[in-house]
């Protein structure tokens, strides 16, 4: 059995690292809607890649990075209308994806596999890409931990200290978009948001330091994914929904804590 689930388990660890850092930052910066917007918008990049026959990873990375920059601009310039505008980007990216898919001749199950993902199908190349993004994320958090924390608490004060909070915020959204691209094949567009927020929401209740919130959410994320993989392997059901259901049950239980 290990031979069949070793890659998926490696993938859960690698995605777990991204959940630890990016998932926790999403929760404390309240960028859940933005993350949903980037995740769904990534479908545009996938549609473009399938139509032009180029690399999905490359196309989706560039496409979501552009979305991240647009979303950063919107939230900084129009803070009071951001929720509606985020919804527009959400739909726009998806629409672009659907149009290019409908223009692409042939069987389109490939595109659907990105909507729901399949962690049991990740290959060596996916793992290498995940590892690379993890490395970028880890180096970023080592150097930017104090800044990210200050940004999450009080952007204005960070600006006063001579650090450009808007650039930092944009960089964080770009990291978010890379994280989404690296997990989209395994988890799928639709459920990525749940997987990236639930572990951090649980972790937040158990700690008073952001550093520990990251560690706990990374471990929880990996455990939920591994649990889902094993269940899906034994009962022959789809892995992602199993992961999300396990995670949600834990979230419900943790909500009753104190």
Partner 1 sequence: MKAVEVKNLYFKYNKEWILENINFILNDKEFLAIIGPNGGGKTTLLKLILGFLKPNKGEIKIYGKFPKQARKIIGYVPQHISFSIDIPITVFDIVLQGRLKKGKFFYSKIDKQKATEVLEKLHIYYLKDKRIKDLSGGERQKVLIARALVSEPKLLIMDEPTSAIDPRGQTEILDLIESLNVTRIVVSHDIKILLRKVDKIAYIHKKAIFHEGPKLNIPKDKHFCEIELINFLKDENCGI
Instruction: By CB under 8 A, name the binding residues for partner 1.
Output: 28, 30, 143-144, 146-147, 149-150, 152-163, 204, 207-210, 212-213
CB of 195 to partner 1, least distance (A): 20
CB of 162 to partner 1, least distance (A): 4
Nearer to partner 1, 208 or 257 (CB): 208
Nearer to partner 1, 9 or 163 (CB): 163
CA distances from 130 to 16, 160, 178, 186, 233 (A): 10, 36, 9, 11, 22
CB of 155 to partner 1, least distance (A): 7
Handedness of CA 22, 24, 25, 26 (dihedral sign): positive
Helical spans, DSSP H, in the chain: 2-18, 24-29, 32-52, 56-77, 82-103, 109-116, 124-153, 155-160, 165-187, 189-204, 210-235, 239-255
CB of 75 to partner 1, least distance (A): 14
Handedness of CA 129, 38, 15, 163 (dihedral sign): positive
Helical spans, DSSP H, in 53-123: 56-77, 82-103, 109-116
Nearer to partner 1, 196 or 210 (CB): 210
Residues 6+ apart with CB under 8 A from 204: 24, 27, 28, 213
**CA geometry: angle 29, 35, 38, nearest 5 deg:** 145
Q: What is the C-alpha R_g of the chain? A: 18
CB of 117 to partner 1, least distance (A): 30
Q: Contact at 8 Å (CB) between 204 and 152?
A: no
CB of 138 to partner 1, least distance (A): 14
CB of 219 to partner 1, least distance (A): 16
Nearer to partner 1, 98 or 150 (CB): 150
Nearer to partner 1, 67 or 202 (CB): 202
Nearer to partner 1, 10 or 212 (CB): 212
Nearer to partner 1, 46 or 168 (CB): 168
> Per the structure block, which two tokens stand in for 117?
């993902």
Q: Contact at 8 Å (CB) between 228 and 243?
A: yes
């Amino acid at each position: 059995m290990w031979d069949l689930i070793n890659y998926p388990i490696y993938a859960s660890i690698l995605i777990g690292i991204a959940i630890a850092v990016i998932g926790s930052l999403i929760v404390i910066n309240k960028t859940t809607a933005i993350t949903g917007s980037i995740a769904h918008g990534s479908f545009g990049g996938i549609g473009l890649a399938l139509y032009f026959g180029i690399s999905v990873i490359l196309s989706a990375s560039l496409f979501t990075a552009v979305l991240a920059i647009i979303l950063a601009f919107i939230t900084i310039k129009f803070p009071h209308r951001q929720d509606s505008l985020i919804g527009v980007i959400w739909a726009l990216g998806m629409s672009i994806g659907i149009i290019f898919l409908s223009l692409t001749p042939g069987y389109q199950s490939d595109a659907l596999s990105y909507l729901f993902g399949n962690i049991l199908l990740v290959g060596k190349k996916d793992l290498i890409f995940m590892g690379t993004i993890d490395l970028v994320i880890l180096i970023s958090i080592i150097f930017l931990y104090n800044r990210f924390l200050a940004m999450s608490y009080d952007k204005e004060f960070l600006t006063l200290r001579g650090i450009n909070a808007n650039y930092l915020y944009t960089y964080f959204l770009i990291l978010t978009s890379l994280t989404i691209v690296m997990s989209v094949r395994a988890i799928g567009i639709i459920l990525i948001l749940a997987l990236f927020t639930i572990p951090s929401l649980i972790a937040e209740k158990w700690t008073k330091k952001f550093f520990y919130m990251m560690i706990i959410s990374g471990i929880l994320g990996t455990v939920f994914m591994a649990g889902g993989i094993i269940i899906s392997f034994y009962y022959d059901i789809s892995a992602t929904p199993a992961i999300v259901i396990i995670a949600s049950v834990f979230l419900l239980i943790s909500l009753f804590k104190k």
